[in-house]
Amino acid sequence: MSEIGVKKGSTFVDVGCGEGFFAVPAARNVGKNGKVYALDIDEESIAILREKAAKEGLINLVTRVGAAEEIVLCEACADFVFFGIVLHDFRNVSRVLQNAKKMLKPTGLVADLDWKKDPMQFGPPLNIRFNETQAAGLLDKAGFEVEEAKEMGLYHYLILAKLP
């Protein structure tokens, strides 16, 4: 969260949130004056996330079940639209990124944290992963300006992009 600048009072949208691996820490980081929207197509994952949030009293975390290609959680409200190791999973990435544009504040950032496209014993199949250049190209084609791309450890990269 600190790598992308999430702080108290931020609005963070986690697209493809799963069980909340990133959404829960984001909700802690943004605090009671911030908000986290968490979207996933899997109802069971959202149910688990809701339980985690309830146990921690994270009332600033709003969950929604649905397809990222079809849902815009808020209009121009997000300081961050985050894709945590999921961009390769969407059936229509360009539509998902267009929805991200609608949710992002004019000063906001899109953050794509994903697997490197290197052979390894774990992670998604190599053939569905995007390398950094491919992911940056998708963001560029969707109308974002890539601000930064960097390695995040041995297995991941992070791309930050903004509206022009």
What CATH number is given to the structural domain containing 125? 3.40.50.150
Give yes or no for residue 1 having a pLDDT over 90: no
| C-alpha to C-alpha distance for 162 and 58, rounded to whole angstroms | 28
**pLDDT, tens only, 87-115:** 999 999 999 999 999 999 999 999 999 99
Q: What is the pTM of this model?
A: 0.96
Cβ proximity of 38 and 63 under 8 Å: yes
Which burial class, exposed, middle or buried, applies to 38 when counting CB atoms under 10 A from its CB (0-12, 13-18, 19+)? buried
Give yes or no for residue 3 having a pLDDT over 90: no
User: Quick one: pLDDT band at residue 13, thresholds 50, 70, 90?
Assistant: very high
- The answer to whether residue 4 is domain-embedded is no
Q: Which stretches does DSSP call E strand in 24-71?
A: 35-40, 61-65
- Mean pLDDT of the residues in the chain: 97
User: Quick one: pLDDT band at residue 161, thresholds 50, 70, 90?
Assistant: very high
Quote the domain boundaries for residue 31.
11-162
The pLDDT score that the predictor gives to residue 158 is 97
In sequence order, what are the beta bridge partners of 20? none
The strand order across the sheet containing 11-15 reads 61-65, 35-40, 11-15, 78-84, 104-115, 156-162, 145-152
Count structural domains, the chain.
1
- The answer to whether residue 5 is domain-embedded is no
Give yes or no for residue 2 having a pLDDT over 90: no
- The answer to whether residue 124 is domain-embedded is yes
Average pLDDT over residues 116-135: 95
- The answer to whether residue 116 is domain-embedded is yes
34: Cβ contacts below 8 Å, ≥ 6 apart: 8, 9, 10, 11, 12, 27, 60
- The answer to whether residue 6 is domain-embedded is no
| C-alpha to C-alpha distance for 13 and 119, rounded to whole angstroms | 30
The pLDDT score that the predictor gives to residue 144 is 98
The pLDDT score that the predictor gives to residue 25 is 97
- The answer to whether residue 1 is domain-embedded is no
